Amino acid sequence: MAARRLTLLLGMVVMLTVHAELQLPSEIHVASEVWEGHTNADGTGMGWDILREVFEPAGVALRLQSVPYTRAVGLVQRGGVDAYVGAYRDEVDEGVYYPRWHYDGDQISALGLKDKPAPALDQLGELRLIWMRGYEYQRYLPNVRHYREVRRHSGILGMLDQGHADFYIDARVEIEVLLAQVAQEVRDRYQVTDLAWLPLYLGFADNSRGHALADLFDQRMAQLVEAGTLRPIFERWQQPYPFD
């Protein structure tokens, strides 16, 4: 009788395992804003390389879509895609499911004119800040009271020059891309001050498919970090390794 119960138990374990495997999608549809060197529209970039290493050895093909950030979030919330890239944890209250593991991190910095004192975290409440629409930095930086969201990078330097804002907040790499688009004599008018480091996540759709993919993501990230498999990707793209 005991042997029979053991056989039945093993059979149930096998069936549950097969069922779980059948529920795992064959591809993951991921949306992202185009961030140079991270999620390029042509499929190159460190972020895309990391996600390929996470999903493709597990039999899940990576399908990419380049859209503005707020549209990527909306697509996930509506179930139009499986995940979006570059999320800060819990930045969206509904329709998004966050995994345990981050895949990268942002050095959040402030861009301002050199004739202004460099900002400190405990002084942010006194300053007028701007950042890109949907980035939700007020959730992660302390004492923020006066902020405005902008839709385009093109007018940011002008807002700082004309005194419409004290500092522009963004990931340092994005600030460097912005400054690289102007002449050196223009760049020399500005300073960049590091404020905080924030881990970056995938934001998954809050449905059974998204949960299954998030579980796989967590399993694979734990394996890859323990094995050191991701370190060469960060070295190749000359970015700091966020798992030490």
- pLDDT tens string 132-183: 998 999 999 999 999 999 998 889 999 999 999 999 999 999 999 999 999 9
What are the tokens at 209?
């498919």
- Cα–Cα distance between 52 and 33 in angstroms, integer? 17
Q: Name the band, by pLDDT with cuts 50, 70 and 90, for residue 4.
A: very low
What is residue 124's predicted lDDT score, i.e. its pLDDT?
94
What are the tokens at 118?
């460099």
What is residue 19's predicted lDDT score, i.e. its pLDDT?
40
138: nearest Cα among 99, 91, 102:
91
Residue-wise pLDDT for 41-56, tens only, equals 999 999 999 999 999 9
- Cα–Cα distance between 97 and 83 in angstroms, integer? 9
Residue-wise pLDDT for 19-36, tens only, equals 444 478 999 999 999 999
In Å, how far are 10, 18, 190, 198, 217 from 5, measured between CA atoms? 9, 20, 73, 50, 34
What are the tokens at 55?
């999903």
Residue-wise pLDDT for 177-227, tens only, equals 999 999 999 999 999 999 999 999 999 999 999 999 999 999 999 999 999
Which residue spans within 42-189 are E strands per DSSP? 61-66, 83-87, 96-97, 104-113, 128-132, 146-150, 167-171
